Amino acid sequence: MESPLDRYVREHSSSQTEALEWIQKQTNIRTNYPRMLSGAVQGRLLTILVEMMGARRILEIGAFTGYSATCMAYGTGEEGHIDTLEINDELESLMREGWRRAGVDGRIELHIGDAKETLARLRESSAEPYDLVYMDANKREYCAYYDLIIDMIRPGGVILADDVLWDGKVYEEPMPHDRQTLGIAAFNDMVAADPRVECVILPIRDGLTIIRKKV
């Protein structure tokens, strides 16, 4: 159920495209956890951040049904390239259909498999560093993703980490001891203490950290 605040914010932000509406609707119909999709407000933020940064090379960890990749691809223009990582191969046809409808299929490369394995492979093969990374997969592995990707980003490049407030569990006292909460809490502590980056948590949706690698 959408809160009055969420509704007001959505109604006063640019509306989503028909293709994004299609992806959202299909996600609701065809998947078990449609809440995982970023949605219109965060999706628009992704597009605007990509445009503001002039980002062209983007890495996404956790594609789900392709909504956030579509939003970022809108921002890159035709020269953009997005590597997106997803473990669930059953989502592939929905993703590809959505990207085709949005006209961004030529900019997105899907890598099916476990993210840590794919990242290790991309580290070996990627010639150019990424401008932007959107981290949105297994919350227990955020620290491992961070260690793998920090050297794959250019100086001045940005990591966006999603769900970093985890329904407020990371600041509950006492903090719950499930592995996802512990994983995110450890990640938040690690980033805040890392002298190589500057960061800020935006309390949008379930918390989004902007992490900028220092020049």
Which residues form the interface with ligand SAM (CB under 6 A)?
Answer: 36-38, 62-64, 67-68, 85-88, 114-115, 136-138
How far apart are CB 195 and ligand SAM at their closest, in Å? 28
Q: Which is nearer to ligand SAM, 117 or 198 (CB)?
A: 117
Q: Which is nearer to ligand SAM, 88 or 93 (CB)?
A: 88
Q: Which is nearer to ligand SAM, 140 or 212 (CB)?
A: 140
How far apart are CB 68 and ligand SAM at their closest, in Å? 3
Task: Give the CA angle between residues 76, 77, 78 to the nearest 5°.
Answer: 120
How far apart are CB 70 and ligand SAM at their closest, in Å? 9
DSSP H helices, the chain, are 4-11, 18-30, 40-53, 67-76, 92-102, 115-125, 142-149, 179-192
Angstrom distance (rounded) from CA 96 to CA 100: 6
How far apart are CB 8 and ligand SAM at their closest, in Å? 22
CB-based contact 145:116 (threshold 8 Å): yes
Q: Which is nearer to ligand SAM, 49 or 115 (CB)?
A: 115
For residue 115, what are its two tokens?
A: 């993210």
For residue 155, what are its two tokens?
A: 């100086």
